[in-house]
């Protein structure tokens, strides 16, 4: 029977109890409105741990003032059914007030990495992410936490944070789960109209195209970005960024060699979607 926990105190007590019994805890932090990407993380956590905790918390501190905090999709009933089916033991779904009580003042920043890619167009976003994840780690006390590679920059930043702050949590990242059309699964896909959804497929296609170009010998980032832009323009996407960079430092590369991250953010109508691939 899945346990639903709303208070920090109760969650801490439960986790401390599990750890004292020697149970390993796998943790999947989410903002809810779950899709197969989340479930793949849960399945991996289930395989590797004695207990699995999933958090559902739409974290205000990672949304900008003009972003989609209010309309972010929510469906707790459906989420709980999915998690129950996936064999999750505990769902932690605190209120905003429980996580950020009056007088809350502390923020964690991972300098450098947080200013690039999505950080450039979403100032403060990764500060909010780092802060809430540190809090959740301290509350849930996991041995291992699982993140999706669709949010590639996020897991790079969280690996840096846990190492820098000497936190005892192992970060595991899992491959992006895609629809048959190639569209990366995202809770925000629910914003898309039918037409937008088919136009959005071009993001995944542009990444595949980049890979094909690289495999055929094109090494210039400028050329690859131009080709990707051209392809995405056919579906009338507004490109936020195309980044061709080092997957560890997120520093832009002019010439492609060694392991490379190609990351894209683009607007389809008002919906901002991200996707990426790593070229080995």
Instruction: Name which position in 23, 69, 120, 167 contacts its own copies (CB under 8 A).
Output: 167
Instruction: Name which position in 108, 184, 237, 266 contacts its own copies (CB under 8 A).
Output: 108
Binding flag, residue 18, its own copies (CB under 8 A)? no
In the Cβ-directed half-sphere of 169, how many Cα atoms lie within 13 Å? 31
The catalytic residues are 38
Binding flag, residue 159, its own copies (CB under 8 A)? no
**Region from 105-113, 192-200, 211-219, 234-242 binding its own copies, contact rule CB under 8 A:** 105-113
Residue position matching structure tokens 């009580």: 101
Binding flag, residue 105, its own copies (CB under 8 A)? yes
Binding flag, residue 25, its own copies (CB under 8 A)? no
What gap in Å lies between CA 194 and CA 269, rounded to an integer? 12
Q: Decide whether 11 or 184 has the Cβ nearer to its own copies.
A: 11
- Could you give the dihedral angle defined by the CA atoms of residues 11, 32, 130 and 128, in that order, rounded to the nearest 10 degrees? -110
Using the Cα atoms of residue 49, residue 133, residue 160 and residue 244 in order, give the sign of their dihedral. positive
Binding flag, residue 130, its own copies (CB under 8 A)? yes
Binding flag, residue 138, its own copies (CB under 8 A)? yes
Q: How far apart are the first and last CA of the chain?
A: 42
**Region from 74-82, 157-165, 203-211, 222-230 binding its own copies, contact rule CB under 8 A:** 157-165
Q: Decide whether 8 or 231 has the Cβ nearer to its own copies.
A: 8
Binding flag, residue 267, its own copies (CB under 8 A)? no
Binding flag, residue 161, its own copies (CB under 8 A)? yes
What gap in Å lies between CA 225 and CA 216, rounded to an integer? 15
Q: Decide whether 4 or 165 has the Cβ nearer to its own copies.
A: 165
Smallest separation, CB 16 to its own copies (Å): 8
Binding flag, residue 215, its own copies (CB under 8 A)? no
Backbone angles phi, psi at 57, to 5 degrees: -155, 115
Left if phi > 0, otherwise alpha if psi is -120 to 50, otherwise beta: which for 138?
A: alpha
In the Cβ-directed half-sphere of 73, how many Cα atoms lie within 13 Å? 16
Instruction: Name which position in 5, 8, 274, 277 contacts its own copies (CB under 8 A).
Output: 8
Q: What angle do CA 12, 17, 21 make, to 5 degrees?
A: 145
**Region from 65-73, 78-86, 159-167, 205-213 binding its own copies, contact rule CB under 8 A:** 159-167
**Looking at the DSSP assignment, which residues form a beta bridge with residue 51?**
25
| Tokens, residue 250 | 């997120």
- Residues of this chain that interact with its own copies (CB under 8 A) are 8, 12, 103-113, 130-131, 134-135, 138-139, 160-161, 164-168
């Amino acid at each position: 029977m899945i346990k639903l926990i709303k208070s920090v105190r109760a969650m801490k007590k439960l986790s401390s109890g599990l750890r004292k019994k020697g149970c390993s805890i796998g943790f999947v932090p989410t903002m809810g409105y779950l899709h197969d990407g989340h479930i793949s993380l849960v399945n991996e956590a289930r395989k590797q741990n004695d207990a699995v905790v999933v958090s559902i918390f739409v974290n205000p501190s990672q949304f900008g003032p003009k972003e989609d905090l209010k309309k972010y999709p929510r469906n707790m009933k459906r989420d709980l059914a999915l998690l129950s089916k996936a064999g999750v033991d505990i769902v932690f779904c605190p209120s905003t007030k429980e996580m950020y009580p009056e007088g809350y003042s502390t923020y964690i920043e991972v300098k450098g990495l947080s200013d690039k890619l999505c950080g450039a167009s979403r100032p403060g976003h990764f500060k909010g992410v780092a802060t809430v994840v540190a809090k959740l780690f301290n509350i849930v006390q996991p041995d291992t936490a699982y993140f999706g590679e669709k949010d590639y920059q996020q897991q790079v930043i969280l690996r840096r944070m846990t190492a820098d702050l000497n936190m005892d949590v192992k970060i595991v990242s899992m491959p992006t789960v895609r629809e048959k059309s190639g569209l990366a699964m995202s809770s925000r896909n629910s914003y898309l109209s039918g037409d937008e959804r088919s136009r959005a497929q071009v993001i995944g296609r542009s990444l595949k195209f980049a890979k094909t170009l690289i495999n055929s010998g094109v090494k210039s980032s400028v050329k690859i970005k131009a080709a990707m832009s051209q392809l995405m323009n056919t579906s009338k996407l507004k490109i936020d960024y195309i980044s061709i960079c080092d997957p560890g430092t997120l520093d832009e590369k002019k010439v492609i060699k060694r392991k490379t991250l190609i990351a894209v953010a683009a607007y389809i109508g008002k919906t901002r979607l991200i996707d990426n691939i790593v070229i080995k």
